[in-house]
């Protein structure tokens, strides 16, 4: 995971690392993704959401391209 200070920084990094593939998400998307996943992580019986539940969380965060498909 890489953090960038601007969209220009992302473009520069992507141009200098064309062999690396992934996706870029905003802080808002990151929060929308992690909040429902980690909200109960300290509960004794916590299980990381997977499958259809994880797909719904990702879709709600706007993470819908092939990179984010639940496998």
How buried is residue 71: exposed, middle or buried, by Cβ count under 10 Å (0-12/13-18/19+)?
exposed
Look up the pTM and report it. Answer: 0.72
Q: Say whether pLDDT at 31 is over 90.
A: yes
Q: Say whether pLDDT at 71 is over 70.
A: no
Average pLDDT across the chain, whole number: 89
Sign of CA dihedral 10, 12, 16, 19: positive
Q: Say whether pLDDT at 29 is over 80.
A: yes
Q: Say whether pLDDT at 63 is over 70.
A: yes
Domain boundaries, the chain: 25-71
Name the CA radius of gyration of the chain, rounded.
15
Q: Which residues of 36-65 are buried (b: 16+ CB within 10 A; e: fewer)?
A: ebeeeeeeeeeeebeeeebbebbeebebee
């Amino acid at each position: 995971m890489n953090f960038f200070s601007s969209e220009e920084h992302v473009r520069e990094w992507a141009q200098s690392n064309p062999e690396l593939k992934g996706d870029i998400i905003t802080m808002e998307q990151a929060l929308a993704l992690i909040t429902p996943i980690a909200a109960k992580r300290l509960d004794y019986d916590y299980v990381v959401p997977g499958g259809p539940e994880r797909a719904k969380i990702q879709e709600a965060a706007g993470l819908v391209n092939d990179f984010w498909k639940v496998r």
